[in-house]
Amino acid sequence: MAYKSLLTIAASPEGVLGTVTAAAQIAQAMDSHLDTLAVGVDRTQIGYSYVGSGAVVIAAAMDRAEAEAREAEAALNAAIGAQPATLRSSVESVVMQLGALTDVVASRARYSDLVILPLPYGKSRGVEDEAVTEAALFEGMAPVLIVPPSGMRTAVPKRIILAWNQSREALVAARRAMPFLKRAEMVQIVVVDPPTHGSERSDPGGLLCQLLVRHGVKAEVSVLARTLPRVSEVLARQVRDVDADLLVMGAYGHSRFREAILGGATRDMLERAEVPVFLAH
């Protein structure tokens, strides 16, 4: 069991080298092919431009988007050039309006086993970075590995924290992460403040642990009290305490003002991510 088709998408040169390096490490370890896509996004909203200026605004915006796509493509080529010559990879670029970004990303993500992306939040990040992450997760139905600026310690994480709350999304994440889980030396299923009522009240995480062990995963369960204001803070502390290489969790979203918005717990975790975070929805 391995990820054979990998995809990374760059909306800017920022963070490209670390993301491509992490993807290349995985590709080399699992004998995979890495596809990369540079995107240039036209963020113009013509509805707010002055009458008669639409054509000028569109032309200027498209020129800017094309320039950004070329910059991202150059960064991807440079990053791939820094990887081992045996890496099988491809580089493409595309320019589009912001409204079409979801469809473009989703169409690529659906035919990938794993999408590797940089952190979508930060001072140097734009709305398109968050949109790419959301499109891959919610519309592309692909697992996404978010790589922090510090990169990925190893292509095959040895110590993994698996966040568990009995939800559908958490179970999907566990199943999608199986190629990583089976190769790990330790997988700790972390349950924070399990409910006092429910099917797992007497053995929180027990059934998931049984499922993973039957697949050959070296899994154990750790039940933690919510001693910090946010669950994401408890998980982050546990990641540090066990010196984990990877955090696996379900991605939560809701439809309200946009097609899909990363839920509070997911966003909190990504904003404080110190190790790669594996997400699935």
Between the two ends of the chain, the Cα-to-Cα distance in Å is 20
Coil, helix or strand at residue 179: helix
Q: Report in angstroms the alpha-carbon separations of 269 from 96, 167, 237.
A: 30, 17, 11
Q: How high is the pLDDT of residue 53?
A: 53
The pLDDT value recorded for residue 36 is 98
Task: Give the chain's domains with CATH numbers.
Answer: 5-147 (3.40.50.620), 159-280 (3.40.50.620)
Asked whether the beta carbons of 210 and 119 are under 8 A apart, the reply is no
What global pTM score does this model have? Answer: 0.90
| Residue-by-residue DSSP string for 212-280 | HHHTT--EEEEEE---SSSHHHHHHHHHHHTT-SEEEEE--EE-SSSS-EE-HHHHHHHHT-SS-EEEE
Per-run averaged pLDDT (10 residues), the chain, 281 residues: 95 93 97 97 64 61 90 97 97 92 95 96 81 93 94 94 94 97 98 82 91 98 92 93 96 52 71 91 90
What single letter denotes the amino acid at residue 143?
P
Scored b (16 or more CB within 10 A) or e, 161-183 reads bbbbbbeebbbbbbebbebbbbb
- Looking at this protein, which amino acid is placed at residue 21? T
Whole-number pLDDT of residue 256:
38
Placement of tokens 């499109």 in the chain: 135
